[in-house]
Amino acid sequence: MRLIVRRKRLGDRMIAAVGLLVAAAVAVLLGFAVLVAKRVDEASAARETELARAHLAKLSAEMRNDLAQFARWDESLELINDRNGREWIHHQFGVRLHRLSGHDMSFILGGDGQPVYASVAGDLVSPDAYRRVQSAVDSYAGRVRRAHVRSAISDSTLGLMGEFDPPSEPQFIVAFLRIEGRPALVGVTTIAPTLRRSSQRQTEPFVAASISFLDEDMLAQMSREIVVDGVMLVENQQGSRLLADAVGVRVPLSEGEAQSWLVWQSSAPGAAMLWRLSPALVALMALLGVATLLVLVYLRRTTERLNQSERRATELAYRDRLTGLANRVQMMQTLAEWLADLPRDRRLALALIDIDDFKSINDTLGHATGDEVLFAIGERLTTVAGEQGVAVRFGADEFALLAPVGAGEGEVLAVCRHIADAMRNPVMAGGQFLAVGVTIGVAVAPDDATEAEQLLRRADIALSRAKADCRGNYRLFDPRHEEALHRRSAIERDLQHAIANDELSVKFQPLFAADGERMVGVEALVRWNHPERGIVPPSEFIPVAEHTGLVVKIDEWMLRRACEYASQWPGLSLAVNMSASNFRQGKVAERLSRVLVETGFDPRRLEIEITESMLLGANSEVLGELSELRRLGIRIALDDFGTGYSSLGYLRRFPVDKLKIDKSFVQNLGITEDAAAIVECVTRLGRALGLAVTAEGVETGEQHRFVRAVGCHQVQGYLFSPPVDAEKIDAMLRPEQPARPHGVMRRLATA
């Protein structure tokens, strides 16, 4: 009996122990399930909140992108005051923004801040409709306009002496505001012309503004994007109360405005999981393993859903929307990772690819056709990249390709040829076949760089070199190009300092009659004696001055200084070189006339030397300037004749008084067979057209005798005198000095 009782107690204990173990297991399982459900719900809510914020940021970016295509809209500035033009603007601006991007209101404000165009819900309405939103939008319009003015002043200073003022960058503001009591996304941008003359700078630009309300359509789109149900817009304290039982984010309205919230019920996958499994956990404790499996399966589904959301957010951040290629952010991240793990026997090529003359496609065929071209090029680059490489859309019309390569240049050049071959076939876009060329610059790691930014910069240097050489080709990075770039930058900085501190000087090279006995004029030449580098050749700093626009300031400074000196040499003509940049900037005759008046120099003694290339590309405005110079009495000389196009047609058509035979032909007399024929032919051509002919670069007696014999009117060169200071010109003009130039030259050499 005691044994039975003992066994019963033992059995009870065992049953109790098992019961306790099962209860503990169930409790642990239930506790674990509750904890997991809570964590999953928190993670899901956090992910939904992050996606909601990302979606708001995406709406702002899309608003900016929508307005960016109108930020450089020259046609709107020309047609806005025309009735038919306003209809065109309406279809291209208001209707397009409403239909393609769902914008509710679109406006264009004039330079005085008054509305000149308005569209509501895609319908053209009176500009007075702007009064509805003026109080909210005016401050932002004023801000972008002031930013534009500051930018325009800065750009004008940098490009003061260039062909055209550099176009100011458009100014953007995108913000959430409360419009008519409703939250709305407002975008404002200046409409900056793509190209303006400095004399036509628009200091009070037009402003484009667009408004999208957070309405039901936008909330429905947000629900689809972040994969939740029923996103609602609630106001003030009501939003705070709803957040206690729901998930939401605050609309980033400006300070001082009543707050709004975007609220939705979280999908709560963890709670749903616990609800579904609780009957099984309570009723079927024996099926604990099955219940655990269900939990794992459900967790897997939940995790997959979260992963999908994360992948979607990653694609928005790292993918180009138009082409689907990796964007610059993704490329730099991938490039850094590949460089960190690059095997010793492998190299990595970074090719930057620029579409040649892509702007003309957008300008002539429209941006939609341009987008088709970009998409097609992206597909071809993806094929070229294959599985090992990465194709990237780097910028507006720039692409990039990352490709592993082996040792030597062979594989790198093969990649370049592969890209060029892929682009050779015409692209179908806009209902027609378009021939699209590309220019490629390549840098290779670790040969050229071991860091991502440095490799990118050197690939860009190679691309710039390829563009400068000839579009449609490819170039590998060469350290000499970077050294030349650094030197060019240093020269640019020092040249600005030299101009500001009057470090430049003027030399004068005499010009003699054909017999070489009588000095009839001088040519003014600029020289730069750098305090550290010494004499900097004009061939080195003049191209930099041309590129930066400083040459206009140098030319005017040299003209003024040369006229001041030459005023003391009556009877001598003064020749001054004039860069093409002066004519592209305009008002040449006005500026030269002002200098002549201020220095008291007779315009009939002045010769302006221009190049053949400038004359060949002359438009009606340049021809008008040349004609005005001749009306003032100034003569026009065509410098370095024979090295360019040497067209008889433009010699007859354009106002030219003198031809200067390039010194390369004169110095090759007796060396090359064609030099003598060219010199004689040019001389006869000039005399037949009634033009004076000057032979430059005469250095020997034989050269002098030949150019005199063929009929050149004037001679110039080291045989007679090198470029000298003004004081030495004074010495050459003294009556007591020997008349023959060779004697003058010997005196100058010993001076």
pLDDT-based confidence at residue 604 (cuts at 50, 70, 90): very high
Residue predicted with more confidence, 159 or 257 = 257
Q: How many residues does the chain have?
A: 751
CATH architecture, domain 72-213: 2-Layer Sandwich (3.30)
Return the bridge partners of 190, or none: 207
Give the position of tokens 């947000």: 222
Question: How far is CA 617 from each of CA 339, 360, 391, 468, rounded to the nearest angstrom?
Answer: 48, 20, 39, 19
Kindly state the average pLDDT of the residues 347-376.
Answer: 88
Instruction: Please check whether the two domains, 328-477 and 499-750, share a CATH topology.
Output: no
pLDDT band at 18, cuts 50/70/90?
A: very low
pLDDT score recorded for residue 296: 61
pLDDT of residue 243: 57
Cα 190 to Cα 305: distance, rounded to the nearest angstrom: 42
- CA dist., res. 178 & res. 175, Å (int): 10
Top CATH class of 499-750 equals alpha beta
More confident residue, 720 or 38: 720
**What CATH number labels 328-477?**
3.30.70.270
Q: Is the pLDDT of residue 273 over 80?
A: no
Q: What is the mean pLDDT of residues 81-108?
A: 84
pLDDT at residue 75 above 80? no
State the Cα–Cα distance between residues 740 and 751, nearest whole angstrom. Answer: 17
% of the chain at pLDDT higher than 90:
15
Has residue 744 got a pLDDT over 50? no
- The string of pLDDT tens digits covering residues 385-422 is 888 888 999 888 899 999 888 877 888 888 888 988 88
Cα–Cα dist 420/464, whole Å: 17
Report pLDDT for 83: 65
The answer on pLDDT for 50 being more than 60 is yes
CA distance 581 to 587: 11
Q: Give the per-residue pLDDT at 26.
A: 64
8 A C-beta contact, residue 278 and residue 201: no
Q: What is the pLDDT of residue 234?
A: 84
Give the H/E segment covering residue 386.
Answer: none
pLDDT tens digits, 308-341: 766 666 666 788 888 888 888 888 888 888 888 8
Query: Quick one: pLDDT band at residue 745, thresholds 50, 70, 90?
Result: very low
pLDDT for res 244: 58
pLDDT at res. 698 = 93
Residue 356 pLDDT greater than 90, yes or no: no
- Which of 190-199, 506-515, 553-562 is the least confident region? 190-199
Q: Decide if pLDDT at 674 tops 90.
A: no
Nearest-angstrom CA–CA distance, 105 and 199: 34
Domain coordinates of the chain in residue numbers?
Answer: 72-213, 328-477, 499-750
Residue 200 is predicted with a pLDDT of 40
The label of the residue with tokens 């928190």 reads 42
Report whether 386 contacts 329 (CB < 8 A): no
Q: Which tens digit of pLDDT belongs to each residue from 300-316?
A: 787 777 767 666 666 66
Backbone torsion region of residue 430, taken as left when φ is above 0, otherwise alpha when ψ lies between -120 and 50, otherwise beta: left
Kindly tell me if the per-residue pLDDT of 661 is higher than 50: yes
pLDDT band at 722 (very low <50, low <70, confident <90, very high): very high
pLDDT band with cut points at 50, 70 and 90 for residue 136: confident
3-state secondary structure of 22: helix
Lowest average pLDDT, out of 124-128, 265-269, 502-506, 525-529, goes to 265-269
